[in-house]
Amino acid sequence: MDMHALGRTEPVSTKQFAFLRTFFILFILFLFLWFVYWITGDKRNNKYKLNVIYPHWKKKQPHLMACGVQVQNDPIIKINNLKTYMVGSYIEHRNQVKMIRTIAIVLRSEKAEYQCVLCCNGEKISVPAAYDIHSDHFGFEYGTADITCQIPGKCPTPTHVAITSRSPKEDGSLQDIHAFQPIRNQQKQEVFPYEFTVCISTMFDYVNILMLVQAMEMFKILGVQKVAIYKTSCHPVTQKVLDYYVKQNFVEIIPWRISSYINVSRGWKKSASPGELHYFGQIAALNDCVYRYMYQSHYVSLQDLDEFILPINLKNWAELLPELERKYNHNVGFEFETFFFPLSITDFHSEYSLDSWKKVMGVNILEHVSCLSNDPKEFNDFKVIVNPRLVFKTTVHGFLESVGGSVRVDSKIAHIYHMRNISKQALSTHSHIQDTHHRDYADRLIPAVSHVLQQTLGIDT
């Protein structure tokens, strides 16, 4: 073999090696950049999804601390080694002994012993706690409960509370505290920033955008100043509408993550809608809303977005409630009977069926004027408007414990217009009545709704 010839081929091999090395480095760099893009892109997508579910995550919240422990303002807080979840904590001013009441969701079969850990002037103070499970659990494994503890003399103004198991750990030390919850209602108020607040207990997978806007604007017409919505999830367009009302300071969104911890039911009847907790924890949310607005609002209305409590011969709630208190009593809640308007029966009229609204997902309440009659001999659904300071325990329909109970308002004075899907059996067994009273609000409702749709979704009328 010619050694000179062999020497001439050596530079060629070096070039090939350099090319392969460069190619390999570029290939690895490409894979790395692609991986980084995939990871960050997935995070962006997840962030968008989370914003739809929990809009307060849009901006990173600062880590607030109390007594060296992180503070969590929103529900839900799991209690260390127990199947118990804190919802909201409040000073109870109405008992002879001042105490802290925490609305909670508990596993009813778990025989737990609790203690409250209070943050008081930078010091942690432990006191025993008692609990009471509400009776309206509808047979589900979990139910709403009140966990209460007395405020000790050495800590007259606790700012935060954590609840732990009273049972010590194996080494004898107390159970760890993962998060403190702020204690609300520190001061008993006599003057309130809001006259009427509406509590919407559960919003999940919500897509009824047109009715949402109609409900918000109808609430305004009726005199409502605040709407509290306990929200799990909704459509992205729904979130745009909610953001609009949040910026107006008309809506407060309370993130409701209980479905991340408990297998929730989507209905009230366990046999028909399996799960461990009744209807997304609706009852716990309602109780929390009553206490959250106890010293912020003169009245609260506990209802859904497809329900409209309308006075028959008066203009709004500001005129209605004083009339009810004169007729019935000041110290009671007011029950408004539900009348159902089937969504399957429509009455199209160009004055109320705007073409521009047809571009929006959801129900137009002005197109439904056929009402099912109620049998006065049977139980008919209702919802309540009440002075929240009269209520200790509430449920979906009425109260479990309150100062004066509740009275049924004569339906000729006011009642609920409930727009919903109705079974064929109910349609065939009830007579139908035409009721167009909600159209009396159309002159104010239509331009208000159209304005919001234009501002939020860019839909011109």
The string of pLDDT tens digits covering residues 402-416 is 999 999 999 999 999
User: Is the predicted pLDDT of residue 23 greater than 70, yes or no?
Assistant: no
DSSP 8-state symbol, 39:
H
User: Is the predicted pLDDT of residue 136 greater than 80, yes or no?
Assistant: yes
Q: What's the pLDDT at 376?
A: 87
Q: Is 401 helix (H, G, I), strand (E, B) or coil?
A: strand
User: Is the predicted pLDDT of residue 59 greater than 60, yes or no?
Assistant: no
pLDDT category, 170, cuts 50, 70, 90? low
- Bridge partners for 145 per DSSP: 104, 133
Amino acid at 229: I
Among candidates 372, 400, 388, 382, which has minimal Cα distance to 336? 382
Instruction: Tell which wins on pLDDT, 115 or 5.
Output: 115
In degrees, rounded to 5, the angle at the alpha carbon of residue 101 between the alpha carbons of residues 99 and 103 is 175
Residue 292 zone, left/alpha/beta (φ > 0; ψ -120 to 50; rest): alpha
Among candidates 362, 342, 366, 341, which has minimal Cα distance to 417? 341
CB 91 within 8 A of CB 98: yes
* Overall average pLDDT of the 313-326 stretch: 97
Question: Cα–Cα distance between 456 and 228 in angstroms, integer?
Answer: 20
DSSP 274-333: -SSBGGGGHHHHHHHHHHHTTTTEEEEEEE-TTEEEEESSSSSHHHHHHHHHHHT-SSSE
* Overall average pLDDT of the 198-223 stretch: 97
What domains lie within the chain, and their CATH numbers? 65-184 (2.60.40), 194-457 (3.90.550)
User: Is the predicted pLDDT of residue 171 greater than 70, yes or no?
Assistant: no
User: How does the average pLDDT of the chain come out, rounded?
Assistant: 89
User: Is the predicted pLDDT of residue 114 greater than 80, yes or no?
Assistant: yes
pLDDT category, 194, cuts 50, 70, 90? very high
Question: Within 10 A of 322 (CB to CB), how many other CB atoms are there?
Answer: 12
Q: What's the pLDDT at 46?
A: 39
Among candidates 183, 326, 203, which has minimal Cα distance to 253? 203
Q: How far is CA 413 from CA 76, 250, 391, 407, in A?
A: 40, 27, 24, 13
Amino acid at 11: P
**Lowest pLDDT segment from 12-21, 107-116, 338-347, 434-443:** 12-21
CB 148 within 8 A of CB 102: yes
Q: Is the peptide bond before 183 cis (omega within 30 degrees of 0)?
A: no
Q: What's the pLDDT at 428?
A: 86
Instruction: Tell which wins on pLDDT, 91 or 52.
Output: 91
Q: Spell out the residues 6+ positions from residue 230 whose beta carbon is closer than 8 angstroms to its own.
A: 200, 201, 202, 203, 254, 256, 285, 288, 289
CB 131 within 8 A of CB 104: yes
DSSP 8-state symbol, 234:
B
Q: What's the pLDDT at 50?
A: 38
User: Is the predicted pLDDT of residue 165 greater than 50, yes or no?
Assistant: yes
DSSP 8-state symbol, 67:
T
* Overall average pLDDT of the 192-196 stretch: 98
User: Is the predicted pLDDT of residue 318 greater than 70, yes or no?
Assistant: yes
Instruction: Write the burial class of residue 231 (CB in 10 Å: 0-12 exposed, 13-18 middle, 19+ buried).
Output: buried
pLDDT category, 47, cuts 50, 70, 90? very low
User: Is the predicted pLDDT of residue 207 greater than 60, yes or no?
Assistant: yes
Q: What's the pLDDT at 426?
A: 85
Q: What's the pLDDT at 167?
A: 74
Strands 194-203 and 297-303: parallel
Q: Tell me the percentage of the chain whose pLDDT exceeds 90.
A: 77
Q: What's the pLDDT at 61?
A: 56
Supply φ then ψ for residue 324, to 5 degrees.
-65, -40
User: Is the predicted pLDDT of residue 68 greater than 60, yes or no?
Assistant: yes
* Overall average pLDDT of the 349-371 stretch: 96
Among candidates 289, 282, 235, 234, which has minimal Cα distance to 262? 282
* Overall average pLDDT of the 191-216 stretch: 97
* Overall average pLDDT of the 114-127 stretch: 94
Q: How far is CA 377 from CA 200, 374, 380, in A?
A: 29, 9, 9
User: Is the predicted pLDDT of residue 168 greater than 70, yes or no?
Assistant: no
The distance in angstroms from the start CA to the end CA of the chain is: 91
User: Is the predicted pLDDT of residue 4 greater than 60, yes or no?
Assistant: no
Q: Could you tell me how far CA 229 lies from the centroid of its own chain?
A: 4
pLDDT category, 33, cuts 50, 70, 90? low
Strands 181-184 and 194-203: unpaired
Q: How far is CA 300 from CA 226, 289, 387, 390, 396, in A?
A: 9, 9, 6, 11, 13
Tokens 């002075």 locate to 387
CB 144 within 8 A of CB 133: yes
CB 210 within 8 A of CB 190: no
Q: Which pLDDT tens digit goes with each residue over 224-246? A: 999 999 999 999 999 999 999 99
User: Is the predicted pLDDT of residue 295 greater than 90, yes or no?
Assistant: yes
